[in-house]
Chain A
Amino acid sequence: MSQLFVIGLSHRTAPVEIREALAQGVDDALRLRQLRAAAALCGEAMLISTCNRVELYGALPRLRAAEREALARLEQLSALLVEPQPAAGKHLYQLAGEEALRHLFRVTSSLDSMVVGEPQILGQVKSAYRTASSAGTIGTVLNAAVPRAFAVAKRVRTETAIGQSAASVASVAVELAQQVFGELRGQPVLLVGAGKMAELCARHLREAGATDFLIVNRTLQRASDLAGRLGGSAHELSELEPLLGRAAVAICSTGAQQPLLRAELVARVMKARRGRWLLLIDIAVPRDIEPQVAKLDNVYLYDIDALSAVVSGNLNDRQRAAATAEAIVKEELQRTVNRSRSADVVPVIQALRERAQGIAQAEVAKVLPRLSGLDERERQLISGLADAVVNKLLHGPLTALKQGAAEPGGGAGLAEAIRRLWALPLPAAPAPAAPEKDSEKEGENSSEDL
């Protein structure tokens, strides 16, 4: 009898330097080697590796007798996990059984993420499960636990609003653009300044469908570099006014000390645009756009404070939704644990019945040929008598086993004892389930919590 365990570190236990060090120089080949080495140690393994977490899931013997062996294996696995950065060892946590399962449910449901409710983690866990399946390191325990975690995550996403509202400035910018224009395909996006934040916003807009990027910067070379990365066109700052006339969304992030977009300029542009809507996102400090611009018709101006206020409100909403999500995780955990306890004893009950009935029927088969003159009804009576004796004898132990299954640990211990006393065979491990394809928006390649 095995149980789920997890060894790992995350943003909750390790500072960013440690996580960075663990991520640097780690490639897919090393992760695959770690995965196979872990599977060799504990029979099955799955490795989740994101910028905010590295976790190894596997199965270890549940029995008290095997505790020392399990601890030794955990030590080896821990060393394996922090191989690229041994100093990270002190930040590791180890969980087993129900606690490990609860942790897996919370991680997959994005309750343990740095930004609660972020959608990437589910894709990353699915990817890890697929990799482990391909490597042949998924066994009975992980095959039961991980798909269950996917189902819990799906339920959390469906029944709560945990991932519905934008949780970063960049995603708020996308939501705003969609509120004004709906479809972003074909809507030109003007980037004034080629800073990192503007680029992040632009990347989010591109994911949402925007394709036409106009980049203006004091240094044309930087604008060209960014245009190359985004697939847009670079322009001189002197072209700002005509470009603003073309753009649907403008994101300003320059280091200018005076506003670049004054109310008169925007008013002039709006006249030329014949009232077409203009969304202005000002993430620069000091601001690049005069606040009076917000008063113009069909112009929507959001500065960094306004965006942050929206993000903060959304994060509060997520925290509220997280409370409901935790209740769902608790309920699902209880259900899974109960099912698992019953599942632990069912194969033993079946094997015990088969063994006892097999013995009884074998004895009946030996005796019947020696009894001459019995008709069919009498033969059936003798056969039935043997079965009845077996059932009566097994009633007490089986009832105790079923009752024990409802108590934490009780069922597994009794089942193991019966299995040993009767020399029952171990149940065969089922084949791993193929993980479902991601049709959801969670990105496997994007990192968790961004």
Chain B
Amino acid sequence: MPPLFPLTLAFYAVACTLCFVAVAQPQLFWPRRLAMPLLGCGLISQGADIAWLCLHGQHPGTSAREALFFAAYLMLIALPLRTYRQPLPLLGALLLPVAMVIDILVRVLPSGHAVTEPGAAAGGHLSRLAMLHIFSATLGIALFGIAAAASVAYMMNERRLKLRRLPRSGGAQPGPSLETLDSWNQQGIVFGLLAFTAALVSGTYWMLEMPLPASWLHGGSHELGLSLQIRYLLSQPRYMLAVITWLLFAGLLVGRSVYGLRGRWAAQVTLVGFWTSLGVLVVYLFRDLAGG
């Protein structure tokens, strides 16, 4: 376990509590004022932990555990960058619990095995392709996380407006408008999809470079090598989930630009897409634990 992990969790827990207080009691200034510096302290602490892990050979490319840990970090680091002008406790209240659960999960579960690939197995080092795949996937999922948090905030605000309950800001600045939250959602998806596309392409090439499992080679197949490998890829749940994620977000962007699909509908699709993208990492995590 990285040395500053308990401290990181403590910072996040207090910042998260303050975000919840700020959401529930918008007339209080101090929770939102305090939450951001505490989140900043947590990020510094987690950044130091990630650096310590890298120095000890456990960089985010070595296992799904570390990739998840890094994805949670990226998701949170985008929060103060996105909202430093206008602290938004609602986004903090949505993202911090998710990040904390991921952090605790990856630290509590046993380490499992490192990502397997021919190069890694031999020398313990990942190829550039594998590194590109893991980092871009992690970044993409983190950006989808931001888009998903903006979507949840959108849906909550939208529901309140539909029910004709104007927020009583009580001294606090009102949160971002529906239009702003929707544009955050769109930006998160656009940049997330770029990263995720890079991850999907590099992942495909990476898997094609790997030897097929013995069961696929001795199954009496008469197919040629490449088509057999593609069939193998499509049979992998993590690969299928990644393709579904990509299709969902790409479809959403097309729907937005061609048919003007936005608002609640876009927010709901974003949430589905984010959960499927998380599913990819979870499959990796349990594959690691199973030693596969």
Contact = CB atoms under 8 A, between A and B. Distances in A.
Q: Do A and B come from one complex?
A: yes
A172 B262 contact: no
Contacts of B179: 180-182, 277
Interface residues of B, number: 26
Contact of B168 (A294, A302, A306, A317): A317
Contacts of B262: 275-276, 298
A314 interface: yes
A182 B157 CA distance: 13
Contacts of B261: 275
B174 interface: yes
A273 B178 contact: no
B26 to A, nearest CB: 9
Given A164-B171, A274-B259, A274-B260, A176 B166 contact: yes
B104 to A, nearest CB: 35
A179 B178 contact: yes
B99 to A, nearest CB: 27
B119 interface: no
A64 B100 CA distance: 72
A409 interface: no
B167 interface: yes
Interface residues on A, range: 20 to 34
B164 A309 contact: yes
A275 B177 contact: no
A182 B178 CA distance: 8
B161 A310 contact: no
Contacts, number: 75
B27 A164 contact: yes
A297 interface: yes
B260 A276 contact: yes
A329 to B, nearest CB: 18
B222 interface: no
Contacts of A321: 170
B286 interface: no
A178 interface: yes
B27 A161 contact: yes
A294 B162 contact: yes
Contacts of A309: 164
A180 B172 CA distance: 17
Interface string B237-277: 00000000000000000000001111111000000000000
A273 B167 CA distance: 27
Interface in B127-176: 157, 161-162, 164-172, 174, 176
A319 interface: no
B180 interface: yes
B168 A182 contact: no
A233 interface: no
Interface string B219-231: 0000000000000
B163 to A, nearest CB: 10
A165 interface: yes
Contacts of A181: 177-179
Contacts of A274: 259-260
Given A275-B263, A298-B263, A309-B164, A180 B170 contact: no
A277 B178 contact: yes
A313 B168 contact: yes
Given A165-B170, A317-B170, A310 B164 contact: yes
Given A175-B174, A179-B178, A181-B179, A277 B168 contact: no
A297 B166 contact: no
Interface in A314-348: 314, 317, 321
Nearest to B183: A182
Nearest to A272: B260
A161 B162 contact: no
Nearest to A310: B166
A387 to B, nearest CB: 53
Nearest to A314: B168
B88 to A, nearest CB: 13
A179, A309, A310, A321, most chain B CB atoms within 10 A: A179
Interface of A: 160-161, 164-166, 172, 175-176, 178-182, 273-277, 294, 297-298, 300, 302, 306, 309-310, 313-314, 317, 321
Q: Which 5 A-B pairs have the closest CB atoms?
A: A274-B260, A182-B177, A161-B170, A275-B260, A306-B164
Interface of B: 27, 157, 161-162, 164-172, 174, 176-180, 259-265
17 contacts: A161-B27, A161-B170, A164-B170, A164-B171, A165-B170, A172-B166, A175-B166, A178-B174, A179-B174, A179-B178, A181-B179, A182-B176, A274-B259, A275-B259, A297-B265, A300-B162, A310-B164
